[in-house]
Structure 1
Amino acid sequence: MGLGWQPRTRTGFLGRLMGPTAIDLDASAVLHAGRRVVEVVYFQHLTGIFGAVKHSGDSRTGGDGPGDDEAITVDFTRMLAEVDQIVFTVNSFTGATFDEVENAYCRLVDDSTGAELARYTLSGGGSHTAQIMAKISRINGAWQLTAIGEPASGATFQDLLPAIDRHL
């Protein structure tokens, strides 16, 4: 999962002097066994169980160019057998809405082929501060992607747990 965005450009004379507004978006992966949360990989917990899920680290301001500012990678060959669902989320830790963020997106990429499997444009996406992006489920031993793209509200993954629960 890749997440990218740029700081919001301020307007007016003072805005140009002060520079862009920092906006802190965060990517999270919530691992489940059935409806039970097994683990969460996010900016304060960068490596999951047995190294199967890894977060690239926290970007508190977004980037000033192309490319993902935060990324979460999943090695399915190292995943615990009890984990049967992974839900990916994005939230605005600073409380900025997606109407306030510039050039924001989140995407799922197959690392082995480079193919983009799902992409959501977050900029101009409304007055919400989070999104339940997608779910990957283990069904009969194979992993399957379900794109969700549901707007939500919350500054942390904990705030999003009730919205996530509806998709399990």
Structure 2
Amino acid sequence: MSVNLSKGQKISLDKEAGTALTRITMGLGWDSIKTKGFFGFGAKTESIDLDASCVLFDDNNSVADIVWFRQLKSRDGSIVHSGDNRTGAGDGDDEQIGVDLSKVPANVKSLVFTVNSFTGQNFSQVENAYCRIVNAGNNQEIARFNLSVQGAHTAQIMAKLYRHNGEWKMHAIGENGSGRTFDDLMPQITPHL
């Protein structure tokens, strides 16, 4: 059973999954822009390159590592990116970041997931954009967050996974921003740590 997350909501991943989670997948999906021509002629599809990123923070709120399209795996191997999708074509998740929670180093206290429009279109032009967390053990969707809120922003801080009293929790941040990569969002991420 999936929980539709709203901005600012916090959940316990273990409670939502009904079991202790060891591996999760953050999925990002969207559709390319479809424009209509005159009288049905000249219709075209414009590709959108959204990028999912995961920034790992340590106990001192310093960046410990980053997983994104230029570095598809964390140095310790606990987090792996599926690769850069530059169009949004096809059904289902267009990009995925897999996390083995049992292998995330003990000094990492939080994982912040972001999405950026690398090609610069704002989200009012992006259709059916979402992120979701899936229990990778049984492919059960635990939580979903709708990103297609109409607006002129080009980025969003999606969610934060963090350790709390020995379990992983999730905070659906849903804060809009602007920028082509996660780096542009760092000043906005810091207050959420």
Q: Given the two structures, how large is their TM-score scaled by the length of structure 2?
A: 0.80
Residue of structure 1 in register with 2:23 after alignment: none
Q: Distance in 1 between matches of 2:72 and 2:176?
A: 24
Q: Distance in 1 between matches of 2:164 and 2:85?
A: 33
Residue of structure 2 in register with 1:39 after alignment: 65
Residue of structure 1 in register with 2:52 after alignment: 27
Residue of structure 2 in register with 1:135 after alignment: 160
Cα pair distance change 1:124/1:76, threshold 3 Å: closer
State the percentage of identical aligned residues: 52
Letter in structure 2 aligned against 1:41: V
* Cα shift at 1:89: 0.7
Letter in structure 2 aligned against 1:150: E
Tell me, which stretches of 5 or more residues in structure 2 are unaligned?
1-25
Residue of structure 1 in register with 2:93 after alignment: 68
* More divergent stretch after superposition (79-88 vs 122-131): 122-131
Number of equivalent positions: 167
Q: Distance in 2 between matches of 1:49 and 1:70?
A: 20
Contact 2:72 2:82 in 1 (8 A): yes
CA RMSD of aligned residues (A): 1.8
Q: Distance in 1 between matches of 2:98 and 2:156?
A: 18
* Cα shift at 1:124: 4.4
* More divergent stretch after superposition (106-115 vs 155-164): 106-115
Contact 2:81 2:98 in 1 (8 A): yes
Contact 1:133 1:150 in 2 (8 A): yes
Higher RCO (C-alpha under 8 Å, 6+ residues apart): 2
Contact 2:36 2:42 in 1 (8 A): no
Cα pair distance change 1:16/1:77, threshold 3 Å: farther
Contact 1:53 1:74 in 2 (8 A): yes
Aligned residue among 141, 148, 155 for 2:173: 148
